[in-house]
């Protein structure tokens, strides 16, 4: 859809790589003249290892969702964060500068978005995870890598450390994959104007339903972030920035029709 919109001649398809054969699958794709790849779970850390160079946001995330090939050069980027930032600020219309953000989860999905959220100017970013130690370790790792100015706005703990006073909550846990919502204390729902789940589907996710029940005025799923990260990847490969909105509308209609 982006190619049709921008008039770029792009052939885009799907490759299924064996779980133990990521690098070989990418080598074969490049040998056939492949110019770039979107990479999804579980291969984002392997795509990071495959890249010879990384953008700062990919280096901070330690995970790559976009590869761009140019001869022997392999650039690894992570566009999940900019996709999320663009969706929140441009489509949803909530400015991140000065916002207090509660990020649920400390796995790959969470680590991918921390630096872009900090760079967007959030006043505070709290990582709350079911296993507190994982969130604390992620914070320590990121604090070392990102330096004191970023680290000062970053905190971490268990889900029970989520208190009142956040402006928005982003769910980056895998709980939604089993139609569950992370067990967040009720008090943390006092304040947030937006609850965004990185998971998406035809119907509201368990996290979105929990947010609505708790009185959160606006809930969103992760389809906008998906289209946003794809738009960033397209811009990296082609040097042209496509419009996310019509593609999001088309995908939303497709999801609804399939439900
Ligand atoms: P991803 O790459 O999608 O982030 P992951 O690295 O396996 O996947 O991380 C999954 C995240 O979802 C973790 O933060 C996990 O919490 P734990 O560190 O405690 O395992 C979180 N998670 C998964 N199921 C959950 C549930 N039912 N409730 C709350 N958090 C959950």
Q: Can you tell me which atom of ligand 1 is nearest the CA of 177? A: 24
pLDDT band for 164, please (50, 70, 90 cuts): confident
Q: How far is the CA of 131 from the centre of ligand 1 (A)?
A: 9
**Structural domain includes residue 156:** yes
Q: What is the rounded CA–CA span in Å between residue 128 and residue 134?
A: 9
pLDDT digits (tens, 9 = 90+) for 218-243: 999 999 999 999 999 999 999 999 99
Q: Which two tokens stand for residue 258?
A: 């399939």
pLDDT band for 124, please (50, 70, 90 cuts): very high
**Structural domain includes residue 142:** yes
The predicted pLDDT at position 41 comes to 84
Residue from 62, 110, 173 whose mutation best tests the ligand 1 pocket (most atoms within 8 A of CB): 173
How many domains, the chain? 1
- Catalytic, 44? Answer yes
Q: Which two tokens stand for residue 185?
A: 């204390």
134 in contact with ligand 1, CB cutoff 6 A:
yes
108 in contact with ligand 1, CB cutoff 6 A:
yes
Look at ligand 1, atom 9, and give the residue with the nearest C-alpha: 107
Tell me if residue 215 falls in helix, strand or coil.
coil
**Structural domain includes residue 173:** yes
The predicted pLDDT at position 246 comes to 97
Q: What is the rounded CA–CA span in Å between residue 41 and residue 51?
A: 16
CATH number at residue 160: 3.40.50.720
The predicted pLDDT at position 8 comes to 94
pTM attached to this predicted model: 0.95
Q: How far is CA 106 from the centre of its chain?
A: 12
Domain that holds residue 200: 81-223
Q: What is the rounded CA–CA span in Å between residue 111 and residue 61?
A: 5
109 in contact with ligand 1, CB cutoff 6 A:
yes
**Structural domain includes residue 60:** no
174 in contact with ligand 1, CB cutoff 6 A:
yes
**Structural domain includes residue 116:** yes
Q: Which of 9-13, 158-162, 218-222 has the highest mean pLDDT?
A: 218-222
The predicted pLDDT at position 105 comes to 97
Nearest alpha carbon to residue 228 among 97, 82, 123: 82
**Structural domain includes residue 198:** yes
130 in contact with ligand 1, CB cutoff 6 A:
yes
**Structural domain includes residue 139:** yes
Q: What is the rounded CA–CA span in Å between residue 67 and residue 75?
A: 6
**Structural domain includes residue 36:** no
N-to-C CA span, the chain: 22
DSSP state of 70: E
Look at ligand 1, atom 25, and give the residue with the nearest C-alpha: 175
Look at ligand 1, atom 28, and give the residue with the nearest C-alpha: 182
Q: Which residues contact 91 (CB under 8 A, 6 or more apart)?
A: 224, 228, 244, 245, 248
């Amino acid at each position: 859809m982006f190619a049709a919109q921008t008039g770029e001649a792009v052939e885009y398809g799907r490759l299924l790589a064996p779980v133990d054969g990521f690098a070989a699958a990418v080598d074969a794709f490049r040998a056939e003249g492949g110019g770039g790849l979107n990479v999804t779970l579980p291969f984002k850390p392997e795509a990071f290892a495959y890249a010879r160079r990384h953008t700062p946001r990919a280096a901070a995330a330690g995970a790559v969702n976009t590869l761009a090939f140019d001869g022997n050069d392999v650039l690894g980027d992570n566009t999940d964060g900019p996709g999320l930032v663009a969706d929140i600020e441009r489509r949803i219309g909530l400015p991140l500068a000065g916002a207090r953000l509660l990020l649920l989860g400390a796995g790959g999905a969470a680590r991918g978005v921390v630096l872009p959220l900090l760079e967007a100017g959030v006043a505070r970013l709290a990582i709350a995870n079911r296993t507190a130690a994982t969130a604390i370790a992620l914070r320590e790792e990121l604090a070392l890598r990102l330096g004191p100015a970023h680290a000062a706005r970053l905190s971490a703990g268990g889900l029970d450390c989520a208190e009142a006073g956040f402006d928005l909550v982003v769910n980056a846990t895998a709980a939604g994959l089993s139609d569950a919502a992370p067990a967040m204390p009720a008090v943390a729902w006092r304040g947030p104007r937006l609850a965004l789940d990185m998971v998406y589907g035809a119907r509201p996710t368990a996290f979105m339903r929990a947010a609505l029940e708790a009185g959160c005025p606006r809930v969103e799923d992760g389809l906008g972030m998906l289209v946003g990260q794809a738009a960033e990847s397209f811009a990296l490969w082609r040097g042209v920035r496509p419009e996310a909105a019509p593609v999001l509308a088309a995908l939303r209609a497709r999801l609804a029709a399939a439900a």
